[in-house]
């Protein structure tokens, strides 16, 4: 069974810093990898979706990379802002069952003004 891990569970950085969030998965046979943002008491908002054939995706200050061979994905946030404070989750789509996504527990990010 696919296991998705996100370390650290929490991260606190000063405003303006560039940062990297990590996502590891145990089975490299993934269909895609999706990054989400979750604000307290809210649902998940999709940030970036990387297909298995892609190496990275970019949206504004966000860049997500995917390395299937090493079982890793990273989310890079440039010039962090207090508004970036949220929990970030990654989810790996299964090749064996296209309707199953395996979620990590998330990294709670706090950007201090």
Partner 1 sequence: NAGVTQTPKFRVLKTGQSMTLLCAQDMNHEYMYWYRQDPGMGLRLIHYSVGEGTTAKGEVPDGYNVSRLKKQNFLLGLESAAPSQTSVYFCASTRQGPSYEQYFGPGTRLTVT
Segment interacting with partner 1, rule: CB under 8 A, options 10-18, 36-44, 63-71, 75-83: 36-44
* Interaction between residue 104 and partner 1 (CB under 8 A): yes
Q: Please give, one letter per residue, the 3-state secondary structure of the chain.
A: CCCEECCCCEEEEECCCCEEEEEEECCCCEEEEEEEEECCCCCEEEEEEEECCCCEEEECCEEEEEECCCCEEEEEECCCCHHHCEEEEEEEEECCCCCCEEECCCEEEEEEC
Main-chain dihedrals φ then ψ at residue 79, nearest 5 degrees: 45, 65
* Interaction between residue 109 and partner 1 (CB under 8 A): no
Minimum distance of partner 1 from residue 90's CB (angstroms): 9
* Interaction between residue 54 and partner 1 (CB under 8 A): no
Of residues 4 through 23, those in contact with partner 1 by CB under 8 A are: 4
Among 24, 74, 76, 103, binds partner 1 (CB under 8 A): 103
Q: Which residues bind partner 1 (CB under 8 A)?
A: 4, 31-32, 34, 36, 41-46, 49, 51, 89, 91, 93-94, 98-106
């Amino acid at each position: 069974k696919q296991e998705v891990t996100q370390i650290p569970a929490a991260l606190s950085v000063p405003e303006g810093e560039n940062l990297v969030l990590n996502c590891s998965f145990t089975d490299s046979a993934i269909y895609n990898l999706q990054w989400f943002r979750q604000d307290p008491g809210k649902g998940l908002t999709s940030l970036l979706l990387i297909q298995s054939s892609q190496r990275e995706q970019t949206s504004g200050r966000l860049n997500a990379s995917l390395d299937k061979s090493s079982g890793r994905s990273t989310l890079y946030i440039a010039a962090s802002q207090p508004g970036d404070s949220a929990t970030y989750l990654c989810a790996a789509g299964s090749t064996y069952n296209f309707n199953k996504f395996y979620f990590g527990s998330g990294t709670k990010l706090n950007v201090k003004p």
